[in-house]
Structure 1
Amino acid sequence: MMVGMRIRIDAVDLPGRTCPAPAGSGAPTYDNIHVAVQRRDRPAELLEPQPGDAASATWTLECTALASPTGTDVKGPYVQDRLGRRFIYLSWGTVDESGVFSMFRRAKLMLDVVPAEVLAAAAREGLLVGRLGLTDAHGNPLCARVEPPHITWTAETWTAESAS
């Protein structure tokens, strides 16, 4: 049976508004960086961009959960599905004077590594919460695959207060 569920991403330790380009790339420094959740198959459609120097950032995503022979399957407009692996993209980009977001890096919050019992509990309780820091070991925006221990997943009971 398919049930409504939400995923809340709670992020702290944002890297700031400036990010140096990779050494030797010749690219300029990235300025006025922001981070947002990317919609599935629509890289330009971003949910609630947050400045890179915010104290914290939170996004709440609507999704569905369905029990399957392999566990709990999560789907939704912000849940990516590549080769059967589900994840959420956090896109990092610069925002120019006219408000245009230009992505330069992404982080993949992997859902297929959420412990099965946590995912099943989240489907029952209504909320899966991922907590993570967004600065990598070099002081730059976190990118690439994000799995525990870099993110902690918990199930919580959904209430109106859970959204923030």
Structure 2
Amino acid sequence: MQLVIEATDLPGSSCPPGSNFPGYDNIHVAVQRRGALGDLLDLHPGDATTARWVLECKATPTPTGLDITGPYVQGRPGGRFVYLSWGSIGRDGEFDMFRRAKLMWDGVDRATADAAAAAGRITARLGLTDARGNPLCAAVRPPLIEWSA
């Protein structure tokens, strides 16, 4: 099954300092591979109009719903998610992660998950700027993300 992530409303290439937030420049976002903090898929600049990722996953029916696995799917059964990692790129070209958003699979309702398994594709649509104007972080569930088959 394909998991397609379509993102809009990126926060820009920099964000100013705030309480408990030092501020960053040259911001980028990517999907993080499971178990490999520095292995990032399709890095997008924070000032891009949109960002899109396509992940190959395996969908397995279980008594409690649909479980997904794959190289970019994190967590244990019942707690699966995909990390969008935010970082700044320094003059040396290195990505320095400063926060992550967890796209939580448990936010997908059963009917949508079943329809997606039958179709072989599920799409997640979300904006990537939080209420403070910074890169979206923490656990992301509806209504911040829309899942569709």
Question: Could you state the TM-score of these two structures normalised by the residue count of structure 1?
Answer: 0.87
Shift of 1:96: 1.2
Q: 1:107: which partner in 2?
A: 101
Output the CA distance in 2 between the equivalents of 1:120 and 1:84: 15
Q: Does 1:8 align with 2:9?
A: no
User: 2:11 is paired with a residue of what secondary structure?
Assistant: coil
Percent sequence identity is 57
User: What CA deviation, in whole Å up to 9, does each residue of 1:31-61 have, x standing for no partner?
Assistant: 1000000001111100001000000000000
CA distance in 1, matches of 2:18, 2:40: 24
Displacement over 2 Å in runs of 4+: none
Match of 2:33 in 1: 39
TM superposition shift of 1:113: 1.6
Contact 2:15 2:25 in 1 (8 A): yes
Where in structure 2 are the equivalents of 1:65-80 lying within 5 Å?
65-80=59-74
Structure 1, unaligned stretches of length 5 or more? 156-164
For residues 32 and 82 of structure 1, the distance between their equivalents in structure 2, rounded to whole angstroms, comes to: 33
User: Which structure has the greater CA radius of gyration?
Assistant: 1
AA in 2 matched with 1:50: H
**Alignment root-mean-square deviation, CA:** 1.3
Partners of 1:24 and 1:139 in 2: CA distance: 15
| CA offsets 1:35-89 (integer angstroms, 9 cap, x no match) | 0000011111000010000000000000000111111110000000147400000
Quote the residue 2:143 is aligned against.
Answer: 149
Correspondent of 1:59 among 37, 40, 53: 53
Q: Alignment partner of 1:37: what SS?
A: strand
Report how many residues are paired: 149
Question: 3-state SS of the aligned residue for 1:109?
Answer: strand
Give unpaired runs (5+ residues) of structure 2: none
Cα gap change, 1:75 to 1:83, in 2 (>3 Å): closer
Please tell me the residue identity of whatever aligns with 1:20.
P
CA shift, 1:126, in A, is 0.9
Instruction: Report which of the two has the higher share of strand.
Output: 1
Whether the 8 Å contact between 2:86 and 2:100 is mirrored in structure 1 is yes
